[in-house]
Chains A and B, each alone.
Chain A
C-alpha cells in the first residue's frame, strides 16, 4: 500500500506563519484513510528530509512570502520551483532543495511525488493565534488544493 504524508509546516502562535498547520489539520478532517498521515513540523531542511522517509507521496503545506505577492494568494508548487535556492548552507539549516538532493545522494528512498501548497502570508512577525483576514479567507482554497494533490486512490474524502 502506498503511503501519503500531508505535512503542515509553521508556527501556530506566529500569526500567518501557522497557516500550513491549520490547512493540514483541515485536510485531516476530510480524509479517513489508513494510508494517509497528517503531521506538522516547525522546521525545514533536514527535518523535512527525515519526515519524508517512508512515504511515497508528500503534500507539503507552508506559508511563503514572495516579491510582490498578495497575502492570501495560494500557490501550487513543485520542489523544482525552488531550485534557485540551492547554494550556501545557511546559519540555521540547509534549504529545502539541498535537503532533497541530500536524500537522493545518500540513496534514501525518496517519495515519488512531492507537491507543495503555499499560502502567501501577510504577517509572520506578530505572536497571535489568529490569521490576517486575507489568509483566513485563503484556507478553504488551500485545503481544496491540498486534497486535489492527494493520490487518486484515496477515495475517503468527505465533502464538507
Chain B
C-alpha cells in the first residue's frame, strides 16, 4: 500500500483564531479570540416536538451531552409544569455527579496536568498525558482510565446509553435503578472519593509545593477581578444539578440570586463584529468593553467561579478542601485563573461524595420515578451547571408543544468575554518589542485559556482530534508579522 500522509486542517473555520495587535512601540494593544460559527441551530429546532429536545440538544456538542440532556429535561419539566418525583430528581443528580467525575478527572490529568506535571516550558512532544504517566507512573494512567470507565458504566446504566442518555422525561426518568446496580454504583462512588483525594494530593505535591508554579498561579498575568456565577442550593452550597443562580461581585458580595425564569432579567448578550459568538454580561452592571472590575458586567462561570459564588460545599471532605484552598490563597473570592484547576479537583471530590450519598439514599431504588404531565405547554427554562459553566436552555412552544423559539447560553459562552480578557492580558505579559513568536509562547497563552476548559462545538471528534489554534500577530499598520499555526 502506498503510504500517504494527510495534513488535516480539521475545520475551515473550526479552530480558535487568536489575533494579537501590536502598537507603534511593539507592545500588545489588543487581542481577539475568534470562535467558529455553527449555523442554523434555532431553525433546526423550530417545529420539532419539545420532547425531542433532550435528544437533539445533547448532540449540539460531543463533549457534554449529559449536561445538555439534563438542562433540556429540566426545561421540559418547566414547560409542562410538572414537578419530577423525589426519586427521579435523585437519579438525575446521581448520573450527573458521575458525569462530573469523568469530566473533571479527564481535564486535570489529560489537559491541565501536562502543563504542571511536565512544566509549561517542556518540549511539546513530552507535554502530554504520555509524559505525565512517564513521570508519575503508569498506575495513575490506568486509574484515570478505570475511573472514566466505571463512571461511564454508571451513566450508561442509569441513562440507558453510554453516550447520549435517553432517560430524562418531563416529570421524571424512564427507568428505575435495581438494587444490584445501586450496590455497584456505591462501590464506584467510594473509589471515586479516594481517587479525588489522591488527585488533590498530587496537585498539592506538584503545584502547591513548587514555588515556580505557585508564583505563576498567583501572577498578575493570570489574574482578573470579575463577577462570579454558579448554581447554589438553599444553603448557598455548590450544586451542579439544581438551585438558584448566584452571582457575587469582585469583592465576594452577593450581587444577585435568580431562579431560571429570571435569567433574561439578569443577562444580556453583546454582539461584536469580529466574531460569531455573543458575549453574555450582567445586565444590571452593563457592558463596558473588555475590562474587568466592579464596573464591568463581565462575569465568569467556571469551577472556581462556582466556589467563589457559594458559601461552601455540601459534602464534608470537599468542604475541608474548600476551606484549605481559600486559606492558602488569601480568602474569598480568588481571582487567579489558574486556581480553577484546584477548584476543579475540589468539585471532583464533591461530585464523588455526592454520588456516594445518593447511592446510599433509600429512595434511589424507589419505583416512583415519574409524574405524568397534564398541563398545556407554553414556555420552559432549565438550568444546570455544566462542567464549563452555567448552562441555560429556554424553549417557547405552541399549545401542541412544538418549538417556536429556543435560546441557549452554554457553559463556555459565559466565559467568552473573560477568555478574551485572559488572552489579551497573557499576551501583554508575554509579548514585547522584538519577541519572537514561538511554540512555547503559544503554550503560555494557551495555558491561561485552557483553565476555562473551553468547548467550541468544534474539533470534538474530527480526525485527528486536536483543536487547532492559530495565533497571528499584526503590527500597528495591521500587517501580519508573525504567525503560529498548530494544525
Contacts and interface: CB of A to CB of B under 8 A. Distances in A.
Given A13-B44, A66-B7, A127-B40, A88 B145 contact: no
Interface in B151-171: 152, 163-164
- How many A residues are at the interface, by size bracket? 35 or more
Contact of B455 (A41, A49, A86, A92): A92
A89 B114 contact: yes
Interface string B434-456: 00000000010010011001110
Interface stretch (A25-33, A96-104, A145-153): A96-104
Interface in A25-79: 40-50, 62-67, 75-77
Q: Which of A50, A92, A101, A105 is most buried by chain B, counting CB atoms within 10 A of its CB? A: A92
B216 interface: no
Contact of A88 (B6, B10, B148, B466): B466
A90 B141 contact: no
A11 interface: yes
B11 A124 contact: yes
Contacts of B10: 65
Interface string B51-86: 000001001101101000000000000000000000
Contact of B39 (A11, A49, A127): A127
B152 A84 contact: no
Contacts of B148: 46, 50
B464 A97 contact: yes
Interface string A98-122: 1101100111100000001010010
Contacts of B124: 87-88
Interface stretch (B128-136, B266-274, B345-353): B128-136
A139 interface: no
B4 interface: yes
Contacts of A66: 6-9
A12 B459 CA distance: 15
A124 B141 contact: no
Contact of B446 (A12, A91, A102, A108): A91
Interface in B232-278: none
Nearest to B465: A44
Contacts of B459: 90, 92
A64 B6 contact: yes
B463 A96 contact: yes
A45 B462 CA distance: 10
A14 B125 contact: no
A11 B43 CA distance: 17
Nearest to A42: B62
B395 to A, nearest CB: 16
Interface string A119-141: 00100111110000000000000
Contacts of B466: 85, 87-88, 90, 95
Contacts of B11: 65, 124-125
A106 B41 contact: no
A90 B111 contact: yes
A94 interface: yes
A44 B145 CA distance: 14
A88 B36 contact: no
Contacts of A92: 63, 111, 454-455, 459-460, 467
Contacts of A49: 145
A91 B467 contact: yes
B129 A89 contact: yes
Contacts of A105: 130, 133-134, 138, 141
Given A64-B6, A91-B446, A82 B63 contact: no
A12 B58 CA distance: 11
A122 to B, nearest CB: 10
B446 A42 contact: no
B324 interface: no
A76 B465 CA distance: 18
B465 A45 contact: yes
B319 interface: no
B461 A46 contact: no
A94 B465 contact: yes
B128 A87 contact: yes
B110 interface: yes
A107 B146 CA distance: 13
B142 A106 contact: yes
B50 to A, nearest CB: 16
Nearest to A43: B62
Contacts of A101: 130
A112 B219 CA distance: 48
Nearest to A18: B59
A82 B138 CA distance: 24
A65 B129 CA distance: 26
A81 interface: yes
B111 A42 contact: no
Nearest to B56: A13
Interface in B9-68: 9-14, 16, 36-41, 43-44, 56, 59-60, 62-63, 65
Nearest to B487: A85
A143 interface: no
CB-CB nearest 9 A-B residue pairs: A44-B465, A42-B62, A85-B464, A127-B44, A95-B466, A90-B467, A82-B464, A95-B465, A44-B461
17 contacts: A12-B59, A41-B461, A44-B464, A48-B465, A50-B145, A50-B152, A65-B11, A66-B8, A87-B125, A91-B450, A92-B467, A93-B465, A98-B130, A102-B129, A108-B145, A125-B36, A126-B40
Given A10-B461, A92-B111, 12 more contacts: A9-B461, A11-B460, A13-B56, A42-B62, A67-B9, A77-B4, A92-B454, A92-B467, A102-B130, A125-B39, A125-B458, A127-B39
